[in-house]
């Protein structure tokens, strides 16, 4: 077969790749820091330089001798960075600055004082990308600092970053192709530019579920290295709050207290009414969107649930484009809130007493609005349902209600296997764990400050929008499978999806039989001061790069098993609307898979309607994994059957889209495409693999996986 333009592109790419070279690790050599760590100031600062602050200036004008910088997308990197900063400061008595990477200009790292240690906590997002917050830093590294790569033989002291003493902990997921790409890149580029790695580079793997253990192992290693190479002196770790809680006085105006309102605009609605409809809406300010319609998508016989919800944006100027993500700000379910109250003996009086939270330094950020109450924090701001870490248990053990509980907590937190057997494998959360350890005695000695600082703050959950902005401009649909499991010891629930299920069940209570569904947990759907009444939920839209080709005539292959079909539905609806508008659209080949055609076939009736409009331009291929007891069929199997047709699409410059489960499906599907190319084009594996990689680089193979 003759080489087409795509094949030539692949060969060129392979040629270029073969010119890349390997890095040389450069370990920091002992004793080059000049007596840096004398500070007695132990206030941990979560620093906000959102005025475009210069980190170098900040360091010169303060006495911080360590900076912990995080680039976080979903809050995990932030959480680990914050824990690390606290422990590092407390252990070594070194004043530490905690920095969200988006708050500072970091393009003058070469001017960071030599006596400052920099720790990066960098998450990798999507296809090996920097998080939104770290995008600018990524550009700086890749453009300005990468240029100095060739200068590899020069004197270390002359290199651009020879002043910088750093370490990196990368957070990634090994089921993705570009595992910890960002952590690797930061480490590699800094090192190439002469920066000194003062403690080993570390990686945490979400894909193997070992993030916590990876972090703990790296942290121990890091502390040991710092003690050995920099002669840092270790002190007994004591808890030092970075915030202080100030109870409000008796005559305080309660209307000024946040009871769960997402931000100030929702408290002062009359003064700021424009902000509630005009935005801008983002991760700092959500739109309170009415769920105008919802329904369940799995059949009534299924013991699982999937919710289709439509968010009405018409009373706001919030807009999306097809393929974007909707971010939903969840709250905690009643049952988990009560369990938390029990674990810490939070009486009504303690819960309702308003307080302000003051940073112990003027640059500290409080990430939720204040003044507030503990009741509001537990329901709306603290992530109380998820798994608990050994690190958390270790730090809270000093506040155990009695000696026996303290030693049990210490024992468990220092023994990986026992912790895994007793806590992790039973899916216990914070409250479950503490109550189990103490035999149901409440942990009354734990300060509020500790809870506020140590428990991760609730982050929005993302959903691939399943509608098209062309056919439904002012309504965004999502398709969410409900996370629910009943184990021998408890109900394990996902907070956002069970909230959606509650909305659906209550919204349709009077209408249909869905009301027979009894969710495992319930919620306060009315929200603070009834502001969420009539099924409103706080949301914002996150722009995505998962986009249809610019030319509507381009053929597309869509692979979206399970809820991975969500954005594919949006794409098909978009083309249906374009077709109706007289646009010449390209053909669509959709691969969809689920367990059973009668149980969990998402939008089963709709696909025929699309076919009616698009005719031969739309072909849907289904795979049912549990329909035939003798044979499990997945989308990859069906793709192989369509090998020749897939090759035809590719030859016609078609685009490929894959959405859904990141752990196995995305990789299996990619391997299937490689197999198909090998078979149809008689290429070897290296070339076929490079061809797919090349597609990805050129956005002709796009993934939206989670
Ligand atoms: P969480 O509260 O986040 O819980 C996560 C999991 O942990 C659940 O399985 C829960 O049961 C379990 N769990 C709870 N407590 C514990 C415990 N103590 N120990 C161990 N495990 C526990 N999902 C969709 O359904 N449709 C989509 O279209 C979609 N699109 C996405 C797009 C993007 C870009 C991303 C990043 C994700 C997407 N997701 C989608 C996933 C979605 O964001 C949520 O992660 C998912 O819905 C679960 O959210 P939750 O709040 O219900 O669960």
CATH fold of the domain at 333-454: NADPH-cytochrome p450 Reductase; Chain A, domain 3 (1.20.990)
For the segment 433-453, the average pLDDT, to the nearest whole number, is 96
Cα–Cα distance measured from residue 372 to residue 261, given in angstroms and rounded to the nearest whole number: 10
Residue 660 pLDDT > 80, yes or no? yes
Cα–Cα distance measured from residue 681 to residue 516, given in angstroms and rounded to the nearest whole number: 54
Ligand 1 centre distance from Cα of residue 73 (Å):
15
Cα–Cα distance measured from residue 409 to residue 415, given in angstroms and rounded to the nearest whole number: 10
Structure tokens at 554: 């381009």
Ligand 1 centre distance from Cα of residue 483 (Å):
7
pLDDT band per the 50, 70, 90 thresholds, residue 365: low
Ligand 1 neighbour 463 (Cβ under 6 A): yes
For the segment 555-584, the average pLDDT, to the nearest whole number, is 98
Q: Is the interface score ipTM higher than 0.90?
A: yes
> Which pLDDT score is estimated for 23?
29
For the segment 648-665, the average pLDDT, to the nearest whole number, is 94
Query: Start-end ranges of CATH 1.20.990.10 in the chain?
Result: 333-454
> Which pLDDT score is estimated for 43?
39
491-493 and 484-486 beta bridge pairing? antiparallel
**Of 249-258, 306-315, 342-351, 622-631, minimum mean pLDDT range:** 249-258
Ligand 1 centre distance from Cα of residue 488 (Å):
21
Identify which has the larger pLDDT, 69 or 22. Answer: 69
* CA 461 to ligand 1: nearest atom: 43
> Which pLDDT score is estimated for 360?
81
Q: Which of 308, 461, 659, 703 maximizes ligand 1 atoms within 8 Å of its Cβ, making it the mutation to test the pocket? A: 461
Cα–Cα distance measured from residue 105 to residue 417, given in angstroms and rounded to the nearest whole number: 43
Phi, psi of 659 (to 5 degrees): -140, 145
For the chain, give percent helix, strand, coil, nearest 5: 40, 20, 40
Cα–Cα distance measured from residue 660 to residue 702, given in angstroms and rounded to the nearest whole number: 12
Ligand 1 centre distance from Cα of residue 663 (Å):
13
For the segment 391-401, the average pLDDT, to the nearest whole number, is 95
Ligand 1 centre distance from Cα of residue 495 (Å):
8
Query: Start-end ranges of CATH 3.40.50.360 in the chain?
Result: 32-230
* CA 704 to ligand 1: nearest atom: 34
Ligand 1 neighbour 295 (Cβ under 6 A): no
Residue 432 pLDDT > 90, yes or no? yes
Q: If you average pLDDT over each of 138-147, 167-176, 603-612, which comes out highest?
A: 603-612
The share of the chain scoring above pLDDT 70, in percent, equals 89
Ligand 1 centre distance from Cα of residue 428 (Å):
16
Report which of 61, 182, 194, 57 is spatially closest to residue 120, judged by C-alpha positions.
182
74 in a labelled binding site:
yes
Ligand 1 centre distance from Cα of residue 592 (Å):
21
Do 375 and 352 contact (CB within 8 A), yes or no? yes
Strand partners, 168: 120
72 in a labelled binding site:
yes
Radius of gyration (Cα) for the chain, nearest Å? Answer: 27
pLDDT band per the 50, 70, 90 thresholds, residue 692: very high
For the segment 217-244, the average pLDDT, to the nearest whole number, is 89
Q: pLDDT (tens digit, 9 = 90+) per residue, 318-360?
A: 999 999 999 999 999 999 999 999 999 999 999 999 999 988 8
Report which of 547, 544, 545, 525 is spatially closest to residue 536, judged by C-alpha positions.
525
Q: In the chain, how long is the greatest CA-to-CA distance?
A: 84
pLDDT band per the 50, 70, 90 thresholds, residue 13: very low
Helix (H) or strand (E) holding 230: helix 211-230
CB atoms under 10 Å from CB of 238, counted, come to: 9
Helix, strand, or coil here: 490?
Answer: coil
For the segment 616-630, the average pLDDT, to the nearest whole number, is 95
Residue 566 pLDDT > 80, yes or no? yes
* CA 126 to ligand 1: nearest atom: 34
> Which pLDDT score is estimated for 158?
65
Ligand 1 centre distance from Cα of residue 307 (Å):
13
How long is the chain? 706
Q: If you average pLDDT over each of 20-24, 85-89, 251-255, 670-674, which comes out highest?
A: 670-674
Query: What is the CATH architecture of 32-230?
Result: 3-Layer(aba) Sandwich (3.40)
Mean pLDDT rounded to a whole number for the chain: 89
Query: Start-end ranges of CATH 2.40.30.10 in the chain?
Result: 289-331+460-542
480 in a labelled binding site:
yes
> Which pLDDT score is estimated for 19?
33
Q: Which of 339, 494, 499, 662 maximizes ligand 1 atoms within 8 Å of its Cβ, making it the mutation to test the pocket? A: 494
Residue 4 pLDDT > 80, yes or no? no
For the segment 295-308, the average pLDDT, to the nearest whole number, is 93
624 in a labelled binding site:
no
CATH 3.40.50.80 fits 556-705, yes or no: yes
Ligand 1 neighbour 475 (Cβ under 6 A): no
Identify which has the larger pLDDT, 305 or 47. Answer: 305
> Which pLDDT score is estimated for 148?
55
Cα–Cα distance measured from residue 232 to residue 50, given in angstroms and rounded to the nearest whole number: 32
pLDDT band per the 50, 70, 90 thresholds, residue 706: confident
DSSP per position, 536-595: EEEEEEE--S----SSTTS-EEEE--GGGHHHHHHHHHHHHHHHHTT--PPPEEEEEEES
DSSP per position, 314-352: TTS-----TT-EEEE-----HHHHHHHHHHHT--HHHHH
Report which of 551, 542, 594, 562 is spatially closest to residue 658, judged by C-alpha positions.
562
424 in a labelled binding site:
no
120 in a labelled binding site:
no
104-105 and 129-130 beta bridge pairing? unpaired
Residue 45 pLDDT > 60, yes or no? no
668 in a labelled binding site:
yes
Report which of 608, 612, 546 is spatially closest to residue 579, judged by C-alpha positions.
612
Residue 12 pLDDT > 50, yes or no? no
Cα–Cα distance measured from residue 531 to residue 266, given in angstroms and rounded to the nearest whole number: 8
pLDDT band per the 50, 70, 90 thresholds, residue 430: very high
Helix, strand, or coil here: 244?
Answer: strand
Cα–Cα distance measured from residue 264 to residue 270, given in angstroms and rounded to the nearest whole number: 11
Cα–Cα distance measured from residue 472 to residue 320, given in angstroms and rounded to the nearest whole number: 10
pLDDT band per the 50, 70, 90 thresholds, residue 514: low
Phi, psi of 359 (to 5 degrees): -65, 150
> Which pLDDT score is estimated for 33?
32
Cα–Cα distance measured from residue 219 to residue 208, given in angstroms and rounded to the nearest whole number: 19
* CA 564 to ligand 1: nearest atom: 28
Do 427 and 492 contact (CB within 8 A), yes or no? yes
One CATH from 3.90.79.10, 3.90.1570.10, 2.40.30.10, 2.30.30.60 for 289-331+460-542: 2.40.30.10
CB atoms under 10 Å from CB of 501, counted, come to: 28
96-100 and 66-71 beta bridge pairing? parallel
For the segment 498-506, the average pLDDT, to the nearest whole number, is 97
CA distances from 482 to 17, 181, 501, 600, 626 (A): 43, 31, 7, 12, 20
Query: Start-end ranges of CATH 3.40.50.80 in the chain?
Result: 556-705
| Sequence-distant (≥ 6) Cβ neighbours of residue 269 within 8 angstroms | 276
DSSP per position, 130-181: EPGGGHHHHHHIIIIIGGGGG--SS-GGGSTTTT-EEEEEEEE-TTSTTTTH
Residue 152 pLDDT > 70, yes or no? no
Q: Whose CA is nearest to atom 9 of ligand 1?
A: 483
Helix, strand, or coil here: 499?
Answer: helix
Ligand 1 centre distance from Cα of residue 399 (Å):
31
* CA 498 to ligand 1: nearest atom: 52
Cα–Cα distance measured from residue 15 to residue 94, given in angstroms and rounded to the nearest whole number: 49
Peptide bond preceding 280 in cis form (omega within 30 of 0) = yes
Q: Which of 483, 490, 566 maximizes ligand 1 atoms within 8 Å of its Cβ, making it the mutation to test the pocket? A: 483
* CA 385 to ligand 1: nearest atom: 15
């Amino acid at each position: 077969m003759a080489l087409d333009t795509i094949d030539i592109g692949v060969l060129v790419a392979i040629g270029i790749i073969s010119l890349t070279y390997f890095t040389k690790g450069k370990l920091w050599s002992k004793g080059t820091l000049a007596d840096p760590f004398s500070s007695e100031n132990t206030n941990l600062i979560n620093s906000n330089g959102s005025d475009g602050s210069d980190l170098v200036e900040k360091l010169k004008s303060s006495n911080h001798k360590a900076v912990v910088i995080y680039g976080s997308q979903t809050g995990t990197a932030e959480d680990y960075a914050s824990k690390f900063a606290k422990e590092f400061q407390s252990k070594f008595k070194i004043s530490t600055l905690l920095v969200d990477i988006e708050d500072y200009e970091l393009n003058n790292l070469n001017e960071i004082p030599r006596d400052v240690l920099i720790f990066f906590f960098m998450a990798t997002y999507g296809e090996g990308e920097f998080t939104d917050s770290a995008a600018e830093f990524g550009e700086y590294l890749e453009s300005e600092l990468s240029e100095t790569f060739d200068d590899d033989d020069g004197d270390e002291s002359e290199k651009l970053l020879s002043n910088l003493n750093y370490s990196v902990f990368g957070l990634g997921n090994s089921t993705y192709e570009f595992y910890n790409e960002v952590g690797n890149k930061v480490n590699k580029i800094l090192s190439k530019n002469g920066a000194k790695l003062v403690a080993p580079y570390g990686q945490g793997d979400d894909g193997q579920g070992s993030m916590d253990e990876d972090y703990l192992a790296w942290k121990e290693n890091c502390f040991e290295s710092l003690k050995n190479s920099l002669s840092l002196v270790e002190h007994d770790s004591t808890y030092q709050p970075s915030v202080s809680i100030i109870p409000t006085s008796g005559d305080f105006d309660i209307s000024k207290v946040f009871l769960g309102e997402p931000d100030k605009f929702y408290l002062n609605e009359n003064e700021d009414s424009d902000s509630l409809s005009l935005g801008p809406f983002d991760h700092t300010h959500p739109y309170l969107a009415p769920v105008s319609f919802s329904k369940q998508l799995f059949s009534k016989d299924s013991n699982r649930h999937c919710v289709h919800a439509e968010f009405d944006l018409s009373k706001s100027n919030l807009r999306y484009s097809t393929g974007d993500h909707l971010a939903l700000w969840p709250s905690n379910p009643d049952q988990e809130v009560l369990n938390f109250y029990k674990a810490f003996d939070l009486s009504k009086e303690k819960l309702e007493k308003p307080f302000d939270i003051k940073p112990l330094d003027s640059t500290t950020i409080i990430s939720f609005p204040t003044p507030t109450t503990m009741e509001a924090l537990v329901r709306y701001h603290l992530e109380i349902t998820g798994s608990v870490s050994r690190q958390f248990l270790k730090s809270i053990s000093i506040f155990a209600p009695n000696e026996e509980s303290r030693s049990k907590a210490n024992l468990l937190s220092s023994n990986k296997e026992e912790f895994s057997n007793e806590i992790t494998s039973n899916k216990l959360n914070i409250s479950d764990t503490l109550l189990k350890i103490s035999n149901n005695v409440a942990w009354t000695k734990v300060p509020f400050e500790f809870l506020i600082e140590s428990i991760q703050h609730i982050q929005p959950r993302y959903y691939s929008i399943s509608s098209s902005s062309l056919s439904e401009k002012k309504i965004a649909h999502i398709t969410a499978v409900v996370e629910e499991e009943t184990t021998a010891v408890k109900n394990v629930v996902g907070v956002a999806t069970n909230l959606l299920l509650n909305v659906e069940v209550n919204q349709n209570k009077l209408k249909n039989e869905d009301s027979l569904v009894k969710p495992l947990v319930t919620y306060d759907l009315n929200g603070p001061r009834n502001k969420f009444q009539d099924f409103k939920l706080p949301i914002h839209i996150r722009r995505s790069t998962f986009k249809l080709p610019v030319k509507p005539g381009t053929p597309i292959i869509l692979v979206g098993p399970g809820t991975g079909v969500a954005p594919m539905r949006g794409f098909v609806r978009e083309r249906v609307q374009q077709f109706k508008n007289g646009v010449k659209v390209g053909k669509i080949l959709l691969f969809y898979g689920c367990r059973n055609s009668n149980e969990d076939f998402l939008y089963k009736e709709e696909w025929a309607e699309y076919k009616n409009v698009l005719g031969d331009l739309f072909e849907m291929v289904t795979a049912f994994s549990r329909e035939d007891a003798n044979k499990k069929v997945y989308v990859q199997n069906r793709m192989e059957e369509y090998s020749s047709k897939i090759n035809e699409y590719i030859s016609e410059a078609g685009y490929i889209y894959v959405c859904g489960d990141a752990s196995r499906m995305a990789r299996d599907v990619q391997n299937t495409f490689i197999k198909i190319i090998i078979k149809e084009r008689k290429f070897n594996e290296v070339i076929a693999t490079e061809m797919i990689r090349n597609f990805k680089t050129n956005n002709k193979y796009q993934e939206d996986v989670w």
